[in-house]
Amino acid sequence: MSWRAQIKRVLCSSVAALSFVAVAEPAARPQYGGVLRVELRAASFTLNPRRWKAGSADYATNERLAALVFDRLVSLDNYGRFQPQLSTEWSHNSAAKRWQFTVRTGVKFSDGTPLTPADVVAALQPILPRGLQILATSSGVAIQSASPVNDLLEILASGPYFIYRSNGKGVLLGTGPFVLENTPASSQQAEKTSSDAGGAPAQHVRFRFNELCWSGRPYLDAVDVMLAVPPLRALLDLQLGKADVGELSEDTARRAQQSNLRIWASSPLTLYALKFAAPIKSQNDRTLREVLSLSIDRNAMARVLLQKQADPAPSFLPQWLSGYAFLFDMESNLERAKELRANLPATALGTAQPLRVGLDAGNDLSKLIAERVAVNARGAGIMLQIVSRTTPRGAGDGAGNAAKLESDAQLISWRYTTLSSRDALESLAAASRWEIPEDGVPTDADARYAWEKRMINEKTILPLVAVPDFAALDLRVRNWSPSAWGEWRLGDVWLDQSEPFVAPRDARAKSPAGARP
Amino acid sequence: MNNQLARRFTLLAFTSTSLFFIFLFGAANSIVAQPQALEECVERLARKAIALPHESRMSLLWTNHTTLSEQRAEHLRALFEQRLEAAGVRFLQGEAAPALRVSIEQTPSQFVFTASVPSEGSTNVVIEDVARSLVGSDERPSNAIRIEKELLWQQEATILSAVLPAVSTGAEKKMVLLTEDALVIYGEEQGNWKLQATKTLPGPKQPPRSARGQLLVAEENMGRVGILLPGRRCEANLAGDSPIVCSGGGSDWPAGRLLSLPACGAQTWWLKSDGTDWTAEDRLFLRSSGAAKESAPVAEWNVPGAVFSIGAGSTAASAAVVVRSLLTGNYEVYRIELACTN
């Protein structure tokens, strides 16, 4: 009997003749098909990483949607291991000043053109951190710097470092699992949104599967994204079966926990802090800031005000990113604050006239936190006046620079966008216009900790709390394996279609075309 | 040096020296890796701490906030203590002495060691970090089960299927792995698995996201294996240089394996898994072959990851199971053996 016949027999004959190789019903496996309906808070987005503003609130939306279309050279898995993406191998010299990356062969952009090292150079050169140079080599790219870059993999595995190519008409093409589809109804808007124009916000965009994706076709046929959906509306849509994934706020996440939904929370990704408009100018100024800092009860803010949906922030970098944030002291000391306050002259800011704290009127959480800061400050004898102004979403850079408020300080939110703690500190420092050392923020953990400590003591920014991202998911969403640092990884998600879905009558009428498998 | 290769080599070395941990009826063993990266990191931390002004008598408060096992953390603590004692520091028990606090923290890519060293009323801090990818993770203790399981192999790269071909008494044991693009054959030498051959799968490479495959062995010819791939069937000789031969055809994927153990009676059992997605822990269970689907399993093991495939073991009472560990992300091959409990 031929071997082929034996194989056939093994597969098809009875159990007794199978010699313990069994053929039975297939095990549960990922299912192809279906459209994932996602609702996001952001009103607009741009896929062009060069237009992303460090620390801004919309950064997460831009990055999540870009991850549908583009790939990076490397990624970091949930076990702390760097995984090959568009680069299959990498190495560096002993000083970590020159890195070589082999570019994966056989990869095609969604229009069928092959990926080349030149594409990688073109995508990365404009956005690489200062001091880094990239050039194409025979099999890939080399990145070099005058100083060691030990954290290059962390940098490249996060933030804006996607690989893309412009098709010459302003549309960016990627190699990722999905392609931005221009539906007839919104094609013009989608085109603008995907391109450099970044103009009119699109309310609904669709990403269809990319059959040329080097890592395989995604399980989903498409991802439908609704933009500008308030968290409460997203929660209701999830409960009504009108959405599969919805972005929530910290208060709606608490409500969602009481419904039949899965809730996801990232590590704390957004820092809320009080940023002073100017550096310390006088001893009184220093004392005022010291009093304010000592009066703030960050623990109560995180535990009570935000009902444990946030972490107190004693430092610029969160514990999950630096590993040493716990070394910073964040205990409030009202008695000491009052003692220092007694030394302030009656004419000082905060005593004779209130310290004006500006905030973005569109950010409810900022207002809530600012009000608590005012209450804490009052306990130490400092008057705060909250000045609320409307800033267009996405207009700011996260450090409050775009909000030209006439205030003494600003309640800012800053989103962490990199896996490198050095890079994160440097971004915050650059946005805050701090003086950065010639060689940049130190690479060495000891020196970096010392530098951060010194900047904390400068009291230009008082960190308050750090808040995670929240999302709720329908139970049909499978293989949901996001990273703690906010990646959703929708390319691996599939929809369990074994249970018939019964959408409410109105939901079926209103859902986008083809939204239901 | 190529980082990726180095890491894989480290993992391979670790794997080959730390196999054969038997989990039996609730015995909670863990895979203990001894990568030098962690020890070197602690050595550096100790050197830095010694270089700082410090008390000659201190207590040591050692805290581990990472996925490293307490056993491993304790090993590192002992190393740190040893290095400082060699430099003249005397560690005391109790609160009377100022505390040298060492904390092990974890970031997405690193383990971070901080030491707060007391000196005359003040404290100085030193920090060292090490890439998590250079350090093997620890395995969670397993739950009590009524089947024997033995971890044979683990690696970062994808394993689609594994089989353990039967061999005659005294002959070298073999393990055959199916990866995304090759058939990899190992032989057991002095307790370690040694690579013997790699045979590349012909035809188009499967995309990583949906790669799938299953190895089959036929009792009549244990020197050959069959390979089920999406839309293809292949066959390969384990010995020699002959290439893998494939032909088209549909694939009926086995969803389990029928096991028997005459010493326990004439009964046969299905070994199957629940088949969860990649993000959830799976369950491997044993059910009488004639029993209804709804009937309770006679034995089960809550697998610390997703079961990718169940392949043939070297005997009628054994199977080779591929699991993707949720804890480490590694692909692991287990030998599952029926155990007679009477």
Query: A309-362, pLDDT tens digit by residue?
Result: 899 999 999 999 999 999 998 788 899 999 998 888 877 776 778 899 999 877
**pLDDT means per 10 residues in chain B (342 residues)?**
48 38 29 64 95 90 87 91 93 80 93 93 92 68 57 92 84 90 91 91 85 81 84 88 85 77 70 81 80 69 88 88 90 87 50
Q: For residue range A71-101, what is the model confidence (pLDDT) as tens digits?
A: 999 999 988 889 999 999 999 998 999 999 9
Chain A, nearest residue to B329 by Cα = A79
pLDDT for residue B210? 79
Asked if A414 and A57 count as a contact pair (C-beta separation under 8 A), the reply is no
Query: Minimal CA–CA distance to B258: which of B199, B327, B316, B325?
Result: B316
Tell how far CA B277 is from the center of its chain.
19
The answer to whether the Cα torsion of B81, B87, B93, B94 is positive or negative is negative
Measure A422 CA to nearest chain B CA, in Å: 13
Query: Minimal CA–CA distance to B177: which of B160, B189, B193?
Result: B160
First-to-last alpha carbon distance for chain B, in angstroms, is 55
Give chain B positions within 8 Å (CB) of A19: 218-220
* Range 426-445 of A in CB contact (< 8 A) with B: 445
User: Residue A301: what are its φ and ψ, rounded to 5°?
Assistant: -60, -45
Q: For residue range A34-77, what is the model confidence (pLDDT) as tens digits?
A: 999 999 999 999 999 999 999 998 899 999 999 999 999 999 99
Cross-chain residue pair A27–B272, CB shorter than 8 Å: yes
Better-scored residue on pLDDT, A365 or A190: A365
Sequence letter at residue A356: R
Give chain A positions within 8 Å (CB) of B103: 326
Comparing CB atoms, the residue among B125, B129, B273 nearest residue A323 is B129
Give chain A positions within 8 Å (CB) of B275: 27-29
Query: Minimal CA–CA distance to A213: which of A75, A104, A108?
Result: A108
**In the numeric block, which tokens belong to residue A207?**
């990403």
Choose, out of A10, A73, A79, the residue to mutate when testing the contact with B (most B CBs < 10 Å). Answer: A79
Cross-chain residue pair B112–A322, CB shorter than 8 Å: yes
ipTM, two decimals: 0.79
**What is chain A's mean pLDDT, rounded?**
84
A104 contact B CB<8A: no
pLDDT for residue A34? 95
Q: For residue range A431-455, what is the model confidence (pLDDT) as tens digits?
A: 888 888 877 888 899 999 999 999 9
Better-scored residue on pLDDT, A151 or B139: A151
Cross-chain residue pair B278–A492, CB shorter than 8 Å: yes
Name the strand (E) or helix (H) holding A32.
none
First-to-last alpha carbon distance for chain A, in angstroms, is 46
Alpha helices in chain B, H assignment, sequence order: 3-17, 36-51, 70-86
pLDDT for residue A115? 97
A346 vs B234: CA distance, rounded Å: 88
**In the numeric block, which tokens belong to residue A92?**
């560096």
Tell how far CA B248 is from the center of its chain.
34
Q: For residue range A174-230, what is the model confidence (pLDDT) as tens digits?
A: 999 999 986 434 434 444 444 443 344 548 999 999 999 999 999 999 999 999 999
A217 vs A454: CA distance, rounded Å: 49
Give chain B positions within 8 Å (CB) of A445: 112, 127-129
pLDDT for residue B33? 38
Q: How long a stretch of residues is chain B?
A: 342
pLDDT for residue B317? 83
* Range 312-331 of A in CB contact (< 8 A) with B: 319-324, 326-327
Give the 3-state secondary structure of A449-461: HHHHHHHHHHCCE
Comparing CB atoms, the residue among B2, B259, B270 nearest residue A91 is B2
Cross-chain residue pair A28–B277, CB shorter than 8 Å: yes
Sequence letter at residue B135: V
Cross-chain residue pair A446–B278, CB shorter than 8 Å: no
**Please, is A163 exposed, middle or buried when counting C-beta atoms within 10 Å of its C-beta (0-12, 13-18, 19+)?**
buried
Give chain B positions within 8 Å (CB) of A27: 253, 255-256, 272-275, 307
Beta bridge partners of A247: A471
Instruction: Give the three-state DSSP class for A415.
Output: strand
- Residues ≥6 apart with Cβ < 8 Å to B169: none
- Reported as a pLDDT band with limits 50, 70 and 90, residue A508 is very low
CA angle A14, A17, A22 (to 5 degrees): 60
Give chain A positions within 8 Å (CB) of B161: none
**Please, is B259 exposed, middle or buried when counting C-beta atoms within 10 Å of its C-beta (0-12, 13-18, 19+)?**
buried
Give chain B positions within 8 Å (CB) of A78: 329
Choose, out of B113, B209, B324, B326, the residue to mutate when testing the contact with A (most A CBs < 10 Å). Answer: B209
Cross-chain residue pair A494–B277, CB shorter than 8 Å: yes
**In the numeric block, which tokens belong to residue A435?**
């003086």
Asked if A356 and A387 count as a contact pair (C-beta separation under 8 A), the reply is yes
